[in-house]
Structures are given as C-alpha cells and as structure tokens.
Amino acid sequence: MKGKNRLLKVYAILLAAFTVFTALDTFVLTKTYEVVETVSEEVSQQESYAGSISGRRSKDRRTASSGSVTGQSGKAAGTGTTLVTEDSYTDGNISVSLSEYEYSDTAVYVAKVELSSPEYLKTAFANNTYGKNITAATSDIAETAGAILAINGDYYGVQEKGYVLRNGVLYRSSAVSGKEDLVIYEDGSFEIINESDVSAEELLEKGAVQILSFGPALVEDGEVSVNVSDEVGRAKASNSRTAIAVTEDGSYLFIVSDGRTDESEGLSLYELAEFAKSLGAETAYNLDGGGSSTMVFNGTVVNNPTSSGSIKERKVSDIVYIGY
C-alpha cells in the first residue's frame, strides 16, 4: 500500500512539473528563431516625426448610434511638404487622419489612411526578432520601426501554428484547420482566406506580402460576416478590440476600441463589425484584442490600453504600421 501511495505522489509531482513547464513554455520562455534585418534609410527621418507631439491629445469625440457613424474624412496625400498636427499627418506619400467616436458606450479610435503606394503598409516584430514569447510594448516596437501610425498585430508569438508572412518573408507555413486569415497583397488589396483551403506558399506566389492569423473576418464584400453570438475563444463579450479594414476606394482604417473600464464598456465582435461597416469597410479583420489593443500615433499612445486591471500597455509580439 505504501509503495502504491509513493507512486501516486511521484506521479502527482511529475504531473504538476509538466503542467508548470507547459505553461512557462507557452507564455513565458522565449525562443529566438530569426533576427530580422531592417531597415530603410528613411527610418531615421521618420523618427524625427515620431514623438514630436508629446502628452495626451486633446480629443474631439463624436457621438454615434449603432449602425450610424459619421466622421472626419482623411486628407489627400500632399505634394512633398510634411504637415503634422495632434490628429493628422500628411506628406507626399502618406496621409493619416484620426477621429474618436462614442459607440455602444465605448470610446473607439479610428485612423483613416491614404497611401500613394501600399509599400508603406508594413509589419514589425518585437525586438526585430521572429520567435516565441518575444514581446515589447506596441509603442516601443513602433518607435524602433519609425512608425507614423501603429496598432498591435496578431500576437503570433504564443502560437505554435498559423501562417506568419511579414513584409514578403514567410516565417511559418504550418496551417491551423479552419483558421481565417487576412492576406494583404503587394497591390494593397485584402483577402480573407481559410488556412485549410490554401497553403502559405501558394499565397506568397500570388503576391501576398502580409498574412495575419487571428480573426475572425468581420466584414467581407461590404457585409458583416460574424453573428451576434460569435466570439474569440476565452474573450469577454464586451472587450477592447483592434481591427484593420480597407474601404472600396482603397483607404485603410485602423480601429482600436477601449474596454474593461468604467468609462468604456468595450465592444462585441458583432458591434465591432457593424461599426467598421458603417465607416465604409469593404473588408475588415479582427486582430488581437483585450489588453493588447493599442494605437500609437507620432509616438503617443492614443487609446487607453488595459493590462492587469491598470491603464498600461501589454507587451505584444508584433505590430501593423504605416511608415517608411
């Protein structure tokens, strides 16, 4: 009997050790797979703009009822002169215009982006490193990249599978059955794909430059593609959210909502999709949300990201950004 009890104790200890190791390996232990060589000669020039506006912006909040949103339209790209204000950036290639809305008792921040070329829509890894559990604050990754505008990405670093294609380089091609991804092609167009239907290599051959693997798709062909009951695994029904969209005229929308606070309840996936559609989104895609949801413009965090119950940035694996 004593021998049996001893074996049970040993088994319990080994099981506990395995559980702890699995948790650490999934969420804590870092692994570097590849260091990414950057960079553009123009990054240093853009860094001079980043951080030029310090402190919190004076916000112009617009009120909108569900399904009916009107806001400020983006400016056309300039002809060479760089103009920077608290809520806009314009040069000869890039135009960014920020607006803030009140939607379903939630503060939602929208950046409308117009580009002379889709090459200025980019992604970046934390610490310029592709790996597992390698993270940094969205604002820190944005600063390193020289980003004019940035949002958090798909947090690929806590997943073992799912396509990772960034700036034309394929880092991971192992598929997740049934996973909906956003593919951004070299011409700037968006496509929603299912990893069960097409390989990452095939998408690369078709001209894909970015694949973001979080989801789900929110809007397809101008129509909401989620149901009221749809939700990301383990997420709250009302939550901080991050999404990216393209409109019929080729403008991009970067969307981040607050949540988890007394001031902002947060949005459901369906509410986020309805909001994106009301802004004219032709295709919209859900990125990592909750504590990860962060928007950075000219070196300033625009929204109120929440992490561990406090207003602060959560460290993430990657960003989507606008810059040189």
pLDDT score, position 232: 75
- The CA distance from 302 to 300, in Å, is 6
Cβ pair 282, 311 in contact under 8 A: no
Q: What are the pLDDT digits (tens) for 161-209?
A: 999 999 999 999 999 999 999 999 999 999 999 999 999 999 999 999 9
Cβ pair 318, 172 in contact under 8 A: no
Cβ pair 179, 172 in contact under 8 A: no
Fill in the DSSP letter of residue 81. -
Helix or strand or coil: residue 106?
Answer: coil
At 56, list the tokens.
């919190």
Output the average pLDDT for the chain. Answer: 84
Q: What are the pLDDT digits (tens) for 79-99?
A: 569 999 999 999 999 999 999
Q: Rounded mean pLDDT of 304-320? A: 91
pLDDT reading at 267 higher than 90? yes
Cα 160 to its chain centre, rounded Å, is 19
Q: How confident is the model at residue 3 (pLDDT cuts 50, 70, 90)?
A: low
Instruction: Give the global pTM.
Output: 0.81
Q: What are phi and psi of 254, to 5 degrees?
A: -105, 120
Q: What are the pLDDT digits (tens) for 105-129?
A: 999 999 999 999 999 999 999 999 9
Q: Rounded mean pLDDT of 302-319? A: 91
Cis (ω within 30 of 0) for the bond into 216?
yes
Q: How confident is the model at residue 256 (pLDDT cuts 50, 70, 90)?
A: very high
DSSP secondary structure string, 171-229? EE----TT-EEEEEETTS-EEEEETTTS-HHHHHHTTEEEEE----EEEETTEE-S-TT
pLDDT score, position 38: 56
